[in-house]
Structure 1
Amino acid sequence: MRRTLPALLLLALLAGCASQVAPTTPSTPKPADCNCGETPAKPAPVTARYQPADWSALPGWPGEQSLAGWPAWLASCKRLASRPAWKEACSEAQALNPRDDSAVRGYFERRFQPWRIEASDGAQSGLITGYYEPLLRGSRETGPGRVPIYAVPDDLLTIDLGELYPELKNQRVRGRLDGRKVVPYWSRADIDAGRAPTAGLALAWADDAIEAFFLQIQGSGRIQLEDGSLLRVGYADQNGHPYKSIGKWLIDQGELKSGEASMQGIQAWARAHPERLKELLDANPSFVFFRVLPSATGGPIGALNVPLTDGASVAVDPRFVPLGSPLYLATTRPNDSRPLNRLVHAQDTGGAIRGPIRADYFWGFGAEAGQLAGRMKQQGQIWLLWPKGQPLPAGQ
């Protein structure tokens, strides 16, 4: 079981060794010759601006597959219905005819106000990527070439900064105890080298190391075992190190060109250069731990704790987009100029999903979804659909 430090111990540890704790979100590292007695200049933090818009400003509204995405909204309402801002909208949604396109459109136009999300630096569009639920081959037993899918180690500490500083609500750092100090948790290279206490924590062993790596990127997946059964796993925790793109590492090394660094391009390079696979994977110090999920039908469980819906769920940065919110996404198809305009729902988060205008689009399960997700790196605009008359999120 993961341990949480009491507030008084936390205060002492943070006061004495704050620089020892690994943040859960990317931060700017100090240079080696930093004078830590001085406060370095920090760039102004990016915040969100919400600009009111008419429904006619949303390209192609109500978009493709508005009825197919209705179950995703009902799933969000299971988590939102008890909150005053959402109660009436969710109550009406339960009684709506889900097969009536005009009723669904009228419901959103009557209940919600569109707000175009902009960044404080003036940007009106941002990066839209895709993800999916992969299928891996594996075993309950170790063997040559197999790599472990680990559960959460007992020594991983999660420190909630909001317990001491209300302005840091929802901000957490992760680490481990080294004597009486809190230090960063083990990196990917350390974990792979056996330095973390992971003995007995393998939920399964995957046949392919690069597929296991991308399972961590996707956050959930299914493993087909030797007897034909399926083991479903989902995100449980992370080691606290910031995510670093191995695609960018390959580009910086001159191994791939920018347009080649898709999931498929990275996998092809890894299989062509097995002798450099460890070097490639260690370029990303972040490491994800998993838990076993029920092998139920439907999508994997997202951060909102509801099953994701193919083509209607997205991962967002919850600092700017509250989980559960309906959104309107205007982007293009993977490696294509054809529009992809859809009503989607903020039901998940991700370590690489950072910024106000940033979304990861869930394509579904299996190889076809993986082909689409792996090639999706588009620009797009996002509108927040917020209950009329309710205060907007802070966007900080």
Structure 2
Amino acid sequence: MCADGYTGAKCENNCPEGRFGPKCSGKCVDCADRESCNLITGECSKCPPGMMGILCEQSCLAGTWGEGCKETCDCALGHACNNVDGTCECSTGHAGKKCEDECPAGTWGSKCSQKCRACKNNGICSPINGECQCPPGFQGESCQMRCSVGQWGTDCMNNCTCASDRKQCDPVNGHCQCASGLQGNLCQDYCELGFWGPDCINQCKCKSLSSTCSATTGECTCKPGYFGEVCDKICPEGQFGDYCKQSCGECDEGMICDPVVGCCLEGESFCGIARAEFVKASRGGVAWWPFLLLAFTVILFAFGFVAYYRSKWLKEKDPDLPTVTFHPEHQGFAVDEPDHNEFNNPLYNRKSVVDGGPAKTEKDLEALKLGPRVNLRPQNEYESLDQFQDIPSTSSATSEYHDYEVPDYKRKSQESDDRPGNLYS
């Protein structure tokens, strides 16, 4: 019997190519470079690229490739590479030289070769299996259905827990809220003007001057004479009515085409009012000057009122007293300037403590009130007036001055004491 790897009558021949072992019964694997395997063991001295093992019966381990499996794969996200040439073999839903990209929108599968079905309501096609992934609140193969009443969330898997049966469960986040256009704990109140939606949380965008806002949908309904998404435009010249659908045509002489009522006489009620209000609102809204004028008038009136009553109070507290003057008629009587003499009698003339003259201003009156006490006992600069009784005289009196004719008199020497007396005799 021949040894392993040999054959022949006298065991003189090697096993034929591709055979090894006892009686050349083993079959060699394909070795690299077409080399024959070991005649005795069947091992290859060198395995082909991508293979390993004694008999080159195993592929390279994951992440390696090439001759002797000495090379390392360079694919993204852990994707495998070809064990022979190192080419990245992307998993389903990815593409790119290194499998770094997900499939473009609308495609899925190996090498992104499959086309997605149309997903509704912002549903997304899965790049792995091509199914529509629905956003919270929707369900169905194409995300075409909202969650049933009482359910919410992704794939409508959650049950609602609203405290009141009047409130509805939001299919997206599960929050309990009133139906659109209503608000309140029991949803008993309608939305206030300018708000809409569930619980009235949305603010209307409509122009309040020219439209109304739907409390349920938030849509703007334009008043006659206006158009636009938020009713912010006035009808073009020659058109009028609801959404400017009517035409004025040729208006009669003296008439204008009003965007609200159509042809009308300028100056009549409502004729031209809408356009004027629209222009005024466009130029800056409410006119403030009438309010400023009114405020200024009120302030001015208040100042006048205070000044009047202050003056009246001062006059009542310190009334003006008359001043008495005399005019001499006797010839040869010399009187120093000025031409009239003041009769210094406290009963008729009140002297100012400031300058010795009659108090004529409010300031003088204040000085009188604040000054030292004055002896108001009557004082007369004349010793006797009996000699004046036979002399005819005329007098005239006003609220300010009293005029008398002055008789002949002689100045008396001043008394050494301060007793009242006449300075003339």
| The structure with more strand, counted as a fraction of residues | 1
Q: Given the two structures, how large is their TM-score scaled by the length of structure 1? A: 0.13
The one of the two structures with greater contact order (alpha-carbon pairs below 8 A, sep at least 6) is 1
**Structure (1/2) with the larger helix percentage:** 1
TM-score by length of 2: 0.12
Larger radius of gyration: 2
